[in-house]
Structure 1
């Protein structure tokens, strides 16, 4: 009696997609018939997956010969992953130094579609600390890092990024629209840092500065987070200076020597 395949359809589909990608990666180009033999699938199934992958931009059809090959999109994804690995490795040293100096939570965040995603974190040395985790997403408009990630972009790009975002009111201080956000971003760019002054969570203040890649583009935001009970307004300039010093060192190691602050 033949064994029953209990693999869920969704998992099976993922396995088939990666089987096709791997086969195309091993060969410069393949037709549907050749691919079906490589991956042990019917030609109709292979064709259906290829058309979806072609629509998404991961494969292309070579001229009129009915053969398929990989595009550079997978390479771009891999390059982004490698970039984050290098960024985290470089930033970790500076973030640990900031942690020693301030004892507060230090975050590194990057842009992911229409959100900020935390890619590295050093926890506060105090027992009362901010709850967050690596991989968690937060809105761009209500976080200091989010504002930093947007502030050096053209207004049209900012509006495109936030086009489908609903501005949730987390606290009474949360910005409520892109129109409210734009002048804040202008100020962030002029002063070189952003704040989340209890806009995401009551009793929590964050200060963030930009990190630049070798092309002079903001690739990440670096922040300090404070419970309001421990935040000292008289030390605000010192906090910003420490963040800039760390972000400058990270940016230089990423290949950008002209950190502007």
Structure 2
């Protein structure tokens, strides 16, 4: 659909930088964390988590309150005193993501859309040696991901035109995108075969509020060598059941 390169990890990743970026993302999306909570999320020692947070505070990416909880600082411009919808979505969905991993033994994700991009707000890895790694905090073009396509399919035609009009005229065929989105809306699920990353297949469904408005996408990601198209109906049914569970829990919380 366009000629932009797929997103691939750097050949020489720097773990300390990755940890700091993930920590900043957690604070921005969720509103706050203690040293112990962040250490557990990042899989590092508490002393390491403390050093990461100290540097984020120094650079104004984080602030520490009197309750010893670290929150996003001025650079991240987060409204830190109220729990955002993204934060509530993540908290409600995580148990369902873990259950999905237990059932499917593949990595699961929760994704939200902002404009023409999507952000992975939660990702739970499976334990298989060959697996899709966590994408939590990462941002992708919406039309490159399963959840992004499903969320785009919910937009009115005029809004889709605003997103992919003149600014994307050279790299996206808007007519072809509209046709694809109509098909996905009818199907109720999407399949991504190496569209966002080489060697990866993802299947996704929508999570909606009680009025039927799409809030997020729920997906399972697996290495393409392990994908069997005959399993697609079963995978979609399992994802749909998890999505309905997230919706019920979100409604109960409200």
Shorter-chain TM-score range: 0.5 to 0.7
**SS state at 2:130 partner:** coil
Question: Of the two, which has the highest radius of gyration?
Answer: 1
Is the 1:114–1:165 Cα contact (8 Å) retained in structure 2? Answer: no
Unaligned runs of 5+ in 2: 1-77
Q: Relative contact order, CA 8 A, sep 6+: which one is greater?
A: 2
1:149 is aligned, of 148, 151, 154, to 151
Cα displacement string for residues 221-251 of structure 1 (whole angstroms, at most 9, x for unaligned residues): 0001111111122211000000000001111
**Equivalent residue number for residue 8 of structure 1:** none
**Equivalent residue number for residue 230 of structure 1:** 226
**Equivalent residue number for residue 250 of structure 1:** 246
Q: Which structure 2 residues correspond to residues 47-196 of structure 1 after superposition, within 5 A?
A: 82-163=84-165, 166=168, 176-196=172-192
Is the 1:151–1:186 Cα contact (8 Å) retained in structure 2? Answer: yes
Distance 2:244 2:188 in 1: 12
Task: Tell me how far 1:145 sits from its aligned partner.
Answer: 1.0
Cα displacement string for residues 177-221 of structure 1 (whole angstroms, at most 9, x for unaligned residues): 222111111111111101112212232111100000233210100
Distance 1:168 1:149 in 2: 23
TM-score, length basis structure 1: 0.61
**SS state at 1:225 partner:** strand
**What RMSD in Å do the two structures reach over aligned CA positions?**
2.5
Distance 1:232 1:251 in 2: 28
**SS state at 2:118 partner:** strand
TM-score, length basis structure 2: 0.63
